Structure 1
Amino acid sequence: MTTTDHAHGSGDHSDPTLYRTPADAVAAPPEKLAYVVGFDPDAQRADALFTVDTDPASPLYGRVASRTELPDPGNELHHFGWNACSSALAHAGHHHAARRYLIVPGLRSSRLHILDTDPDPAHPRLVKVIESGELAAKAGYSRPHTLHCGPDGMFLSCLGGADGADGPGGVALLDHETFEVLRAWESDRGPQRLAYDLWWHLRQNIAVTSEWGTPSMIENGLVPELLLDRQYGHSLHFWELDSGRHLQRADLGDENQMVLELRPAHDPGATWGFTSTVVNVEDLSASVWWWNREGENFVVHKVITVPAEPARPEDLPPALQPFGAVPPLITDIDLSVDDQWLYVSAWGTGDLLQYDVSEPSHPRQTASMRLGGIASRQPHPAEPDTPLTGGAQMVELSRDGRRVYLTNSLYAAWDAQFYPAGIDPWMIKLDADTSHGGLVADSRFFPHGPDFLGLRVHQARLQGGDASSDSYCYRS
């Protein structure tokens, strides 16, 4: 059976994990597995996809159930996604789509690894590798960062131009079923040059992109001169989704460096969302911003500021010792499927912050938990005598909003700058109170260190979908 044949699924029944509405996703059965990418920062050992058991009734709960080794090292596996998700319901032509394949980009290698979760979701199989040359030749891009499944194909944001050239970065369009790289998505780029994330308001035909930097700006670590000169990304871009035509640039101010994650409302009738900035060069704070459509244009407002924390110079890496403070470094955010709760990870201090965003223009902090952190190295409750390395970084949230999964590595070259003693991999689960707010660490769930064979772990995806991998077509 060819890849094209079995990508369709079988029979006339669509995948039950393609949810018509956010409420359907929330009500669906909870995930029993999480998929987590692991990479060797020294590029000596093969990278891997780990499957972690998330079923509390399973004897393997909180442990690595399997490992799918990739044939090559040095990929720097980063953000990955499904071949199909709920957005496939936007077009009848994809009504046989199935959330079956994981497309795993290598941010440093520019390869794409395709893994099949059928017939055994606990043991994915590598079925195809797309080499960097195809991405360069057909779309003109390299350094793939984030993949999202859309109604007309898979959208792959890329930081670099062909063969690692310094931009412009942009978005490649991939075929849903063959995984072939089709072309560059943009038809009119406008002023956009830097890339990072991509998301959309599906029913409004609006796409949003954010900005980090080009390959030379990130691959050897944060460049202090570029940061102080305010050269990293500081804008959002709004586009026409179907045509790839640039519509509007929204500048957050060049003091707010590195505009990263995009979390649009899951409500398909809404036109608002959240993004975050890593650091303000004037005071080392980090921030969360809310965008919303007003008339024909989008406006962006800062709604959360997280200040830097004073620290003893001896507790800081060399890069931060002159400042005598730990910047929070907001590196990920996640919005619950019901659009009620926002999670903000401050990788520098190690904090995961929970906000009630029932009024998205006025978030209200309801809980926080510190895990790791540059100066504090706060332990996990399950091992209170063992300081954690790294800090709360990538956040993934279950569809019902009750479980929060965290991993601790950002990007190998940046890990070395901010955590020079090294990062021992960990994955942590928190139970969230979805009535009034609150976070409690699950002491039974703590795969770390040898469980991941020492490979650093970055993003997690949850079986059946999660809060950051679906866009919905219907409100009710």
Structure 2
Amino acid sequence: MNHATTDPTFYRTPADAAAAPAERLAYVVAFDRAAERPDALTVVDVDPRSQSYGRVVGWTEVPHLGDELHHFGWNACSSALKHEGHDMHDLARRYLLVPGLRSSRLYVFDTRPDPKQPRLVKTVDAAELATGAGYSRPHTLHCGPDGVFLTCLGGANGSDGPGGIALLDHGTFDVLRGWETDRGPQHLAYDAWWHLNQNTLVSSEWGTPSMIEDGLLPDLLLGHRYGHALHFWDLTTGEHRQRVDLGEQHQMVLELRPSHDPEATWGFAGVVVSTEDLSASVWRWYRDGASWAAEKVITIPAEPADPDALPPALRPFGAVPPLVTDIDLSVDDRFLCVSCWGTGELKQYDVTDPSTPRETGSVRLGGIVRRTPHPSAPDVPLSGGPQMVEISRDGRRVYLTNSLYGAWDDQFYPDGVGAWMAKLNTGPAGGMAVDTEFFPHGAEFRGRRVHQVRLEGGDASSDSYCYR
């Protein structure tokens, strides 16, 4: 690559990323659960020196209804520095690719020339995704060595699987093909990440479209039908190499966060719930000789509760499950944030030794029973809880949003989740505190619910690095 023309937000090392200027903008997707108004890509001012700090300063709606914008990501990132054999010299972290989880459409937004006013420049429709890759229900995407990797929950034309990975062209965003060449036993899909220097891709499991569309289905949960395994693949060939079962009771293996150290051979996976006791957990995967293994390193118990205070789905249990629905690993691999959407808690762990995490911080906001208010509005109970979590490159700021997925929101928060975003400031040795000056919520998002956050210039969960 001609480094004279390299995007300055492509950081060669994690340390370079941490030392880069702080983000000034955050991009947040907002969706209308009723599908009566278009979803939108919003822009939030996160610069404390700005007069519009904590306010929505950009808003771009999509042209259709009912997309449910969910996870999204950049067209390019620091891993481009190792994309040998590709013409990447003009590639830049410029476009945000935003899938509609319900519609199977993919929207491409250009954040230049005005980062506060992204422009919709392309739409990839469901038919193109189905014809080109054999998939539907796009969920998570990352810039990778052969193109943009887009994980999908469903099969072609909305069929119920298998889910997998669609490969998109880095520059045109055309659908190239399905990535897998031999999927082995893999059927359920959710997230995918990799260890570039190990030529290994890791994928996780949630469920097919019919398993998630109408909320958490008790029969499937108790029948251990949701995902409970990790899969390891040859990154170059797309061939399945190994399945690691975490145990059928550990239902819904969702977010994957590999170490940012390009020589490391470990990462973390979050598990939503155990059918044994409603606890949630975090697992570490690691290289074990020539194969891969996984071990549970964090267990978060359910919290007892008055059944009358619980939604119908939880009353028989008399407890609130933590429901770990997102995790995020700081760029220096030192701290892991774990969002407990059910109990309304964000936990922070020191993972300097990834095999023995040590809790170093906790913040409560919302929660099924507690409804802990934001400090800036102490008399207003919050619905929803810390869900998507994003850590800044230097690790000093953590951003939260509160919606999980429309049908699941309605099931666990039947009186509504509203819409809010919060920011936490962290200490160099751990610990977190809510920023009382930052709290976009309610009317700020024009009646839409908010899900994932991406930060200007990259963040802790969007880059893989090539050098130490």
Between the aligned partners of 2:243 and 2:222, the Cα distance in structure 1 is: 22
Specify the SS of the correspondent of 2:466. coil
Which residue in 1 is equivalent to 2:76? 84
User: Is 1:276 aligned to 2:270, yes or no?
Assistant: yes
Which residue in 2 is equivalent to 1:241? 235
Specify the code of the residue in structure 2 equivalent to 1:271.
Answer: T
Q: Give the alignment partner of residue 24 of structure 1, picking from 16, 36, 49.
A: 16
Instruction: Give 1:12 shift.
Output: 4.9
Specify the code of the residue in structure 1 equivalent to 2:59.
Answer: R
Specify the SS of the correspondent of 2:220. helix
Specify the SS of the correspondent of 2:386. coil
User: Is 1:438 aligned to 2:431, yes or no?
Assistant: yes
Specify the code of the residue in structure 2 equivalent to 1:367.
Answer: G
Q: Give the alignment partner of residue 170 of structure 2, picking from 165, 169, 176.
A: 176
Which residue in 1 is equivalent to 2:47? 55
Instruction: Give 1:151 shift.
Output: 2.2
Which residue in 1 is equivalent to 2:59? 67
Which residue in 2 is equivalent to 1:254? 248
Specify the code of the residue in structure 1 equivalent to 2:463.
Answer: D
Runs of 4+ more than 4 Å apart: none
Specify the SS of the correspondent of 2:37. coil
Between the aligned partners of 2:135 and 2:93, the Cα distance in structure 1 is: 26
Which residue in 2 is equivalent to 1:451? 444
Between the aligned partners of 2:467 and 2:4, the Cα distance in structure 1 is: 21
User: Is 1:190 aligned to 2:184, yes or no?
Assistant: yes
Is the Cα contact below 8 Å between 1:88 and 1:95 reproduced in 2?
A: no
Distance 1:11 1:395, change over 3 A: closer
Deviations 1:228-274 (A, max 9, x none): 00000000000011111000000000000000000000000001000
User: Is 1:164 aligned to 2:155, yes or no?
Assistant: no
Which residue in 2 is equivalent to 1:466? 459
Specify the code of the residue in structure 2 equivalent to 1:403.
Answer: R
Is the Cα contact below 8 Å between 1:356 and 1:365 reproduced in 2?
A: yes
Between the aligned partners of 2:399 and 2:427, the Cα distance in structure 1 is: 14
Specify the code of the residue in structure 1 equivalent to 2:104.
Answer: S
Instruction: Give 1:96 shift.
Output: 2.4
Is the Cα contact below 8 Å between 1:160 and 1:167 reproduced in 2?
A: yes
Between the aligned partners of 1:61 and 1:309, the Cα distance in structure 2 is: 36
Which residue in 1 is equivalent to 2:193? 199
Q: How many aligned positions are there?
A: 466
Matches within 5 A, 1:63-462: 63-92=55-84, 93-434=87-428, 436-462=429-455
Instruction: Give 1:385 shift.
Output: 0.4
Between the aligned partners of 1:88 and 1:364, the Cα distance in structure 2 is: 34
Instruction: Give 1:290 shift.
Output: 0.3
Specify the code of the residue in structure 2 equivalent to 1:246.
Answer: H
Between the aligned partners of 1:152 and 1:27, the Cα distance in structure 2 is: 28
Specify the SS of the correspondent of 2:5. coil
Specify the SS of the correspondent of 1:94. coil
Specify the SS of the correspondent of 1:72. coil
Specify the SS of the correspondent of 1:24. helix
Instruction: Give 1:454 shift.
Output: 1.2
Unaligned 5+ segments in structure 2 are: none
Specify the code of the residue in structure 1 equivalent to 2:57.
Answer: A
Specify the SS of the correspondent of 2:422. strand
Is the Cα contact below 8 Å between 1:347 and 1:390 reproduced in 2?
A: yes
Which residue in 2 is equivalent to 1:5? none
Give the root-mean-square deviation of aligned CA atoms. 1.1
Specify the code of the residue in structure 1 equivalent to 2:125.
Answer: E
